[in-house]
Structure 1
């Protein structure tokens, strides 16, 4: 998304859990797409609690990994007021009229931007852009824990280590474990192979978000097909960037928020991309020149 860096589809937004450990579609999750509220914005730059105003309830009471990973409409990048002449925070506006809307080259097409991997203490000051780097993640412990739980579940779904290692990841993430949810009668997946498989896959999507795993996960699971069947275009959605979510004066200065949240609003989910998909894409094709080298070499299925 140009200078907007890495955009995020709505499907990924919906994958993150609530702070009570439930999926947004679970009964009692508390999830809502209606209305607006204050949402705490955690920052190392201040010891005081910071809250963003007029944030969609879609982003309220989500798990800590969500706030660590996603920049959404109205979220602030808090700074020390002594070093920021513009005030004590930068607010992000992707909606029409905002500083990062789709009339600029800095917009994310979906209305979301990746916050993960960003240094929260690095600010652009002076004439030179500040730079910062970190080693890329190749392997990490949570990845191995989830692989281990996945393998155990396919061998023996009653193995208690499945939930043990799945819960280690959730506990570190700051959300209730599956043993907690079972104990309080909220949700019980323990011992059910299908439910545990689904939980492990969803945990991988969130815990390893944007680390390059999911592309390969959905192929090895063979779950990349659209819900309408194989060889269908895959639809990816985002927010309606052609609509404002706030009022601006003639000079572009913020005036007030809009309360629209339904069809026709910025928060309406629209299709951003239709991507071609065939089941053959579960595998890479073996290059034709390699196939010609031996009559015993068989091309991958459907190619």
Structure 2
């Protein structure tokens, strides 16, 4: 990501009510590695739940879709995806995997490992933000596009609509889209998943301040001036992560010629994570030309998380 993009996001977000920044700025190399650590924490159930579904259903997914190419948005270290790649390359089949992620270091390291692990797999990584899709790899009509981890919940309603329209525009009839989404559940469990006892999520959140300081000309912005907060918004059905000021903050963003003030107790919103009811989610997909009624969908045994397989129509 460029300094120009960060400064555009700063202009658009810091002086908005409430101040906010898009979560893409979490994922520098350190942030990406912290997130990998988060996925293994006892409180953070989504990764285990999604892996459980993939372990049971990957062979079925490949059979239903007939896919010989898998494109993945926000692939990270592709940990869960390996289960699907096992099914994709069964019998030493030739196949293509095209992971896309904003963190180049992690993505390229992962691509090298995958090439060694899967000799018949062509791995074609792309370092990019998934808000701007490159051309998909593979034969049109036989491609499977993945968006896992519940990342769909990071979008507001209008952003989610724009994203799904972009996804549909990248697919042709016969291509499939596999979407991971977290489901509504006990708020105490939800908050714990974003405010773990070990404080790893707090470090992940505070790393955003380090990214801004490194990438944008600014003075007066210090991570010790903030604390991590996670809360559940019942009306919006989302977890909200915040950086709350523990003292008055006054930062000078010299690159954009603006000063930013945040009073003690006020906050910067760094992420939302929407949780879904399946009927409503499937209706959204159908509204964007992604049919689910004749394809498939699954949850883990506890009913915490969902995978939905939709086909472009």
* TM-score after normalising by structure 1: 0.25
Greater length-normalized contact order (CA 8 Å, ≥ 6 residues apart): 2
TM normalised by structure 2 equals 0.25
Larger Rg over CA atoms: 1
Greater helix share, 1 or 2?
A: 2
